[in-house]
Amino acid sequence: MRLTVRRTVAETGERVDGGDSASTVRARLLRAIHLWHFVFLSRLFALGIIFYHSSADVLAAMAGSAVLLPVALALDGLLCVVSWLEKRGKGRGPLSRHRWFPMTAWAIIAAGTVFYTQFVFAVSASNAYVASFDHIAAARIGIVLVGAAVAGLSRPAFFVFAFATAVGGALGTWSMEFGGQSLLFLCLLAAMVSEDSRYHRRQDNLRQAQVDDQERALNLVREFETAGRGWFWETDRHGNLVYVSQVVADKVGMERRALIGRAFTDIIRKRGGGGESEERTLGFSLSSRTPFNDLTVQAAVKGEERWWSISGNPISNSLGHFLGFRGSGTDLTEMKRSEREINQLARYDTLTGLANRLHINELLERALRNHFGQPQPCAMFLMDLDRFKAVNDTLGHPVGDQLLQQVAGRIRQVVGDRGQVGRLGGDEFQVVIPQITAHDKLAEIANAIIISLAKPFGIEGEQVRIGCSVGIALSEGDGVPSSALVRNADLALYSAKDAGRGVYRFYIDAMHNHASERKAIEDALRDAIAKDQLKLLYQPVVDVASEMITGFEALIRWYHPTEGLISPTKFIPIAEEANLIVPIGDWIIRTACETVATFGPQYQMAVNVSPRQFTNPNLPSTIVNAVAAAGIRPEQLELEITEGVFLDESAENMEMFQKLKRTGIRLALDDFGTGYSALGYLKKAPFDKIKIDQSFVRGAADRGGMNAAIISSIVSLAGALNMHTTAEGVETHDELDLIRSLGCSHVQGYIYGKPMTAQDAIALLKSNGGRVEAQGYKSARETRKRTFRTVSVDHGGFRYEAIVRNVASGGAMVEGLWNVPVGTRFRIEFAPNMIVEGVSRWAMDNRMGVKFDHAMDIELLASVTPAFVGGAPLKMAS
Ligand code: C2E
Ligand code: MG
Ligand code: MG
């Protein structure tokens, strides 16, 4: 850069910098030569005056002094020619390039001046000119002044000129005085010039330093710009660009020249929506002429998202008048991009692109409170995919991943703008729906999601079907904390899954009570085995034709010290959830094997195995060990497996069947017809027996029902597959007769005996050589006993006092509770050790009919004390 500037000086010949480098000296000399024709003219003019005022004889007398005058004029003329040549060469003249040029020029100036001055001073010293003294003096001063002025443009030339003038003067006047005084003046001149030179050198150095600084700054700026680290801009007072870096022009795809003169704001994209606040700040700052710093704006670049951070300061002149803005900008695009990527990673699920757990919870927090911090209404869905695990296990994780992506897409499509969808992990999804709490609208959305996810998914040429359960919780703007909402939705989801999946449930408070109850049971269950609270009872299984006991089913009971008897239907699912089923199940298998060993080798023992136990790979070894330890034959042990196992038709499951079969034990399919009603698996799994669920047996003897037909087809199916059938829950003679006529091989029911202790079972086996007699009512339509007994009715954690007006083993009419909704569940406590659970079937005013979940032995009622003090004991009236 420095070189460029120097060259410019040399080229133009202008005095740009104060440095005394050779090129500067040369340039100044050239400048003087360029003007030398004025000196030449002044000299000709002076000669004209002299000749005008001279007579011929005077001129003849001066001839000696004028000898070198033509040489002097020729030398001046030579300088003028040099000047002309140099001017034509535009500073790159043929002569000034040469090294000898300055010396030669100075020599010409010196010689010309000496010769010329010698003549003029000789003239002025001549007495012949006394009469024309003023003319001659004026001419003399004129030539000195013009010559000094022109030569003065170059300091060496000036000294050459001054010295030559002094020499010429001294020669012309031929006077020692002149020479001496001239020398004195020359010294004075030299001293003055040297002082001035020093001053100029200092000034020049200073200026040079400034120029260097400016150059350096300019270089840095250029480097900064070209490296793309930032750019600069300047506007005039109207906000129009007067400068902008090339890089900006490149980015916005315009010529830099075209940008100059356009409004600065033209290079900024005008956006709509909530992100424009920075643009507004920019607009405000520009119009109010105030500085702005690091405003993040979007560049007006077509087809690309480019972000800039810009800063600017108003500039004004020394009088304080506003001149415009000057500022800088940097490209934030990469930073924004990586920021967004980091954000994306931190807030969004990488697989589905949905909000992740953290972010959806943030969104929930935001939806629950407006920006003033006031609570506002909001609803939340928690969703769980049904059968997702089976897809993942059978078709593999890549298919599972694709399925999740498609599921995410469908949920997002259904929810649309109404809410935000998130994936919590695995197959759990969450939807936050702000401002909507109307049940019908939420139900509509939940239903749409369920329907949408129930449609088959096409993945890698396979059709995959899953389902989805939805739990819904809401806050009506009453400030429910997000954690409570999540817990409520979780309970609602739990209840939806419990209700058979593929449904949605709204949270109700009772769910919470239910959940706390579950938690309490779970805690107590953990040490129930250690405290010897779990017992097995044994219910006889009887051969229909011979009425001989063929074996027993082991049924677990939990005698809780304060809660009393807890049904397995209640605590087994909890044990499954809490992963307690395996240790409990192992204990059951061991105990059942030990017990059947005491009954005799001809008896079988059926043990219930829950689906969770079934997936435990240690199950076969547990069985082999238990059988070996009890010393029984493997065929004596029968595992009862429910259809739930087939929800997951995985290879592991099928392998487990084979492994169990290889141990030599028998397998029975329990509760047939109540679950997963696909019959295909019956062929795959090696069952020895089908147990027909008691829901088919109950009322099968009634006329007009379908149950008898269903039992009949199950029996023929079992026959075709070479399996036995056991009818469960046979209570009446009518039912027994029907079962016998339909061809069932075995019966298990109260008619032949309730679940009993091992001692009672042994006693029963001994009493009649293993033969039992059917005992029970003729038909299910048993007459009700009229009574007036005070009971405690428990619902949703509240206890009510009520009166039982009539009772049968299957249900009761209860008086005292008003307008009870049909389907409400109750616990009715007839006495502390006699509690039944049931559901309301009808209600009118303060009366309702309750159907018990399990039959109650009403004969026992007469002997127990009522639940409430003051309540009358049961009066039996037939
Ligand atoms: P399940 O395996 O179908 O057992 C038959 C259930 O029907 C037993 O109920 C039994 O007491 C009842 N029952 C038998 N005959 C009659 C009858 O004539 N009338 C009526 N009303 N009921 C009858 P329990 O003992 O309450 O067991 C209920 C369920 O709990 C069982 O159904 C089984 O699924 C499960 N369970 C019971 N014990 C165990 C166990 O040791 N392990 C596992 N995993 N589950 C068990
Ligand atoms: Mg069973
Ligand atoms: Mg059963």
Closest CA to 364 of 263, 308, 434: 434
Residues 603-628, mean pLDDT to the nearest whole number: 94
Nearest CA residue ID for atom 12, ligand 1: 729
Identify which of 817, 806, 815, 752 has the alpha carbon closest to the alpha carbon of residue 784: 806
Q: Locate the ligand 1 atom nearest the alpha carbon of residue 588 and give its number.
A: 41
Residue 729 zone, left/alpha/beta (φ > 0; ψ -120 to 50; rest): left
Considering only CA atoms, which residue is closest to atom 2 of ligand 1? Answer: 608
Give percent of the chain with pLDDT exceeding 70: 92
Per-residue exposure over 202-216, b if at least 16 CB sit within 10 Å of its own CB, e if not: eebeeebeebeeeee
Q: Per the confidence metrics, is the pTM higher than 0.75?
A: no
Q: Is 755 in the pocket of ligand 1 (CB under 6 A)?
A: yes
| Structure-block tokens of residue 854 | 């399990």
Q: Is 556 in the pocket of ligand 1 (CB under 6 A)?
A: yes
Report which of residues 402 and 876 the model is more confident about. 402
Is residue 443 a contact partner of residue 476, using CB atoms and an 8 Å limit? no
For residue 327, pLDDT over 90 is answered with yes
| 608 Cα: distance to centroid of ligand 3 (angstroms) | 9
| Rounded Cα gap, residues 812 and 788, in angstroms | 11
With 80 as the cut, is the pLDDT of residue 507 above it? Answer: yes
pLDDT band at residue 16 under the 50/70/90 scheme = very low
* Beta-bridge partner residues of 837: 827
What local confidence, expressed as pLDDT, does residue 320 receive?
86
CA distance 438 to 360: 22
Q: What is the largest CA-CA distance in the chain?
A: 187
Q: Given pLDDT bands bounded at 50, 70 and 90, which one contains residue 577? A: confident
Dist. CA 874–CA 864, nearest whole Å: 9
d(C-alpha 741, C-alpha 736), whole Å: 9
How far does residue 691's CA lie from ligand 3's centre (Å)?
Answer: 6
Answer whether 608 contacts ligand 1 (Cβ < 6 A). yes
Give the model confidence (pLDDT) of 351-374 as tens digits. 998 999 988 998 898 888 876 778
Give the mutation target among 555, 559, 605 for probing the ligand 1 site: most ligand atoms within 8 A of CB.
555
Burial class (CB in 10 A: 0-12, 13-18, 19+), 455: exposed
Q: pLDDT above 90 covers what percent of the chain?
A: 39
Say yes or no to pLDDT of 12 above 70: no
Query: 325-345 burial by CB neighbour count: b if 16+ within 10 A, else e?
Result: bebbbbbbbeebeeeeeeeee
**Whole-Å CA distances, 25 to 9, 15, 205:** 11, 10, 16
Q: Report whether 639 contacts 665 (CB < 8 A).
A: yes
pLDDT in tens, 59-93: 888 888 888 899 999 999 999 998 888 888 765 66
Q: Which residues pair with 316 in a beta bridge?
A: 322
Ligand 1 test: best mutation among 535, 537, 608, 772, most atoms within 8 Å of CB?
A: 608
3-state secondary structure of 466: coil
- pLDDT bracket for residue 809 (50, 70, 90): confident
Residue 636 has a pLDDT of: 97
What local confidence, expressed as pLDDT, does residue 545 receive?
93
